[in-house]
Amino acid sequence: MSGEGLAKILSGTEVAREIRNHLANEVKEIKQKFPDFKPKLVIVQVGGREDSNVYIRMKIQAAAEVGVEATHINFPRSISQGELISEVQKLNGNPSIHGIIVQLPLDSEEPIDSNLITNSVSPHKDVDGIHDENAGRLAHGQLEGFFLPCTPSGCMELIKRSGITLKGSRAVVIGRSKIVGMPMAQLLCWHHATVTICHSRTKDLPQVVREADIVVAGVGQPQMVKKDWVKPGAVVIDCGINAIPDSTKKSGSKLVGDVAYNEVQHVASHITPVPGGVGPMTVAMLISNTVKAGKLALEKILELKWQICILHSDIEISRSQSPKDIEELAAEIGLFTQEYELYGRKKAKVSISVLERLKNRKNGKYVVVAGITPTPLGEGKSTTTVGLSQALGAHLKKNVFACMRQPSQGPTFGIKGGAAGGGYSQVIPMDEFNLHLTGDIHAITAANNLLAAQIDARMFHEATQSDEALYGRLVPSEKGERKFSKIQLARLKKLGIEKTNPGDLSPEEIKMFVRLDIDPDTIIWQRVIDTNDRFLRKITIGQSPTEKGHTRETHFDISVASEIMAILALTTSPQDMRERLGKIVVASDRSGNPVTADDLGVSGALTVLMKDAINPNLMQTLEGTPVFVHAGPFANIAHGSSSILADKIALSLVGEDGITVTEAGFGADIGMEKFFNIKCRYSGLIPNAVVLVASIRALKMHGGGPIVTAGTPLAKEYKEENLELLKNGFCNLAKQISNASKFGVPVVVAINQFVTDTQAELQLVQKLCKENGAFDAIICNNWAKGGEGAIELANAVIRATEKPSSFKFLYDLQLPIEDKIEIIAKEIYGADGIELHPKAKQKIELYTKQGFNNLPICMAKTQLSLSHDPSRKGVPTDFVLPIRDVQASVGAGFLFPLVGTITTMPGLPTRPCFYDIDLNLETGNVEGLF
């Protein structure tokens, strides 16, 4: 316009209402597809003032109109900078919160660096758009994929509504604040305006402003911009809000902008009023950014294609291959920084909170790797797990996770050596994988032994004190008041005592409360250590004079045989772990009732010791694909699989089109059967395919080949072609294929190729596999070629997982214990039946009486034969399975019948692996682990 008449009003109130209505419809549409979509904004305020609270209420009201949940958190002025940052970081770590803004007072009791606080908000949740990372992106002209600051963004929307052509226009921004002035200038610049940024003391400021087609004032000086400063027909955006005296108002003041509105409206073409101009737009853009943050979080969940940086190795394999920093891998697979904790640069713990964030993402396909009955040398199950994962991820570009057990220090330094896979299919860094990792086994050892110590300590105190003395010490008076602890109240409830005041218990009730009355002959809880030490297989404790003759015989188990390890592997949440730890049965009392960790008062402390161990450990393969290494339960007396939580997180992360490859311990008759009947029951996960690993060497052994012994050279039968021996031994593989088929899961056989195998031998096995019901049989040489050597296997697995699933369990949990044992013996091992020894019968009666009948069965038998006799190879027939005892892991959630003699404390051989293990003092590298 030419300056005649009045400027058109750019009403922020009206435009903001349009924006909110549009956002409300957008949120509604998204919720129709994703009902749990709920963008959430948290407004953090320090030292609330009434004027600030008015604006906060406006933001909360605007959020509610759109369908955004807004929460106001007010901290006192006395909060320290460190405390405030800690609170903000907690909000950063909450995946249900999408936007965070922090409002600081002009003054506070504690010195606070506002820039530090601003940057403590995650840039992914910085809906104010003022984090340095977001500001830097704007400065570089990256206008998409992050958050623009709210006030400048709102101003741009109003400028566009004026109809002015931004490209080539002259713009002047008065004020250089990081919240308004500077980002406003950058926005105008990146929209191709010619921009001049000024401050209140700019030389010839009126003349500079007079040349502008667009004026944005945000300097904080009331009515500074006069009529004669403004070019006729200019667009004027007033960002100032200043209070000036006004005797006509009840408050004695009124709000005005930085522009003399009554004057300037006569020359400008468009102008924003104060109030009602920029203010409502700032709120609208804040809500818009919050909706955007919610959408980005949803896209992150729905985004299924990873961009993995593939690693390549050379001849020295793991030592020469530098792993990616684990932060890089975490970003590639869609983890947020607050969802993992670094343990050095090459491994991290991943928070199980990821499951909540990804709860609406469909799981990927679930593949379990098992093996035939192995030789003592192993047949390459771990190597195949890694190689298959590398083939799927690095070569076929699938989202894929491998899930593996953490190896025990016992085998690592004893007879087996490292367990990270082998050749070009292994987990790196291999030395960290095989040694302490992140300390999970140490945590299990500490928790296990704390419980063991409490058993003997409680028996000692009960034997040496009266009821009254025990009660006084168990429920002491503190500052004249006696209180039951939380766990003691739970014990009272279990005993049927409803009283909560320690002074109200009768002598009989006190006796019930303080006397666990453990029968020493029934104690099943042992101390553990993660070292092979045969001389701890039987010991006597309590020989110090201070124990007053209260000795008893006991023994040590290896740490991975602890029930707490099995609990870690089978738990589904911290709450579930706490419950399972409390249910651990350590013994029976003299009346035949189970005594638990809750009864001993120790389960809360066990949970504390295990609070970090519950989070899976993230590592990588030699080719840079992700691996979860978590839990390592003994595959004989426990179920022998890595954790449910690792599998669940992996399945969520890979997404619907991805694959999670998890490993089952020992042969399929042990590991796979327990995986299906125990792990899948507790996880609720449905497997899509089985990969059954076999080797020509093992099949020849089952066909009558010479004994295979670790540490001794292989006989010539294993180095030369022998089709007859191979054909005779195929019966074991055929039986394992049949076993997998009983569960309704397709089987892909992976024939792990060794250099001594001939083409005729390999092709014979392939032919026999397909004739005996395998979905496919693939020759693999991933040990020598890495993922490239398992591409054909990977394609076969993909095809197998696309078949409809008809998975079913082998037995009903409600069946009697004896029946469930017999079903496994007959169906999986091929036994004619079972023979219960007197001790086993007694235990079955006891566990049925104690209410444990409906637990699944975890058979404890040799891994070297389908039968109980390790010398019987192939597929033994005409045998009855002897059950000499039945024990209970009630916390873990299974009963384990003992078949033959199972050693839970391995011994060191004559020449242990540690003869070859050393630290290179020049490079710091571990040598000789594998």
Residues that are catalytic: 59
What is the helix (H) or strand (E) element at residue 401, kind and residue range? strand 400-404
* 329, 626 Cβ separation under 8 angstroms: yes
Please give the Cα distance from 563 to 603 (Å, whole number): 13
* 102, 117 Cβ separation under 8 angstroms: yes
Please give the Cα distance from 53 to 65 (Å, whole number): 18
What is the helix (H) or strand (E) element at residue 645, kind and residue range? helix 644-654
Q: Can you spell out the DSSP letters for 737-765?
A: HHHHHTTT--EEEEEE--TT--HHHHHHH
* 173, 184 Cβ separation under 8 angstroms: yes
Please give the Cα distance from 878 to 833 (Å, whole number): 9
Q: How far is CA 437 from the centre of its chain?
A: 16
Q: How far is CA 204 from the centre of its chain?
A: 61
Side by side, which strands form the sheet with 270-271? 8-9, 270-271, 235-238, 214-217, 170-174, 194-198
Contacts 24+ apart (CB under 8 A), 312-317: 312/623, 313/424, 313/622, 313/623, 313/786, 317/423, 317/424, 317/426, 317/622
For the chain, give percent helix, strand, coil, nearest 5.
40, 15, 45
Q: Is 770 helix (H, G, I), strand (E, B) or coil?
A: helix
Please give the Cα distance from 482 to 491 (Å, whole number): 17
What is the helix (H) or strand (E) element at residue 326, kind and residue range? helix 326-332
* Cα distance between the two ends of the chain: 83
Name the residue with tokens 């129709």: 32
* 384, 693 Cβ separation under 8 angstroms: yes
Between helix 181-190 and helix 150-161 the angle, nearest 10°, is 50
Q: How far is CA 804 from CA 100, 651, 746, in A?
A: 45, 18, 10
* Amino acid code (one letter) for 258: D
Q: How far is CA 398 from CA 250, 300, 390, 451, 790, in A?
A: 69, 17, 10, 44, 14
Q: What angle do CA 335, 400, 572 make, to 5 degrees?
A: 65
Say which DSSP state 836 is in: E
Please give the Cα distance from 384 to 790 (Å, whole number): 8
Q: Tokens at residue 522, please?
A: 């029934």
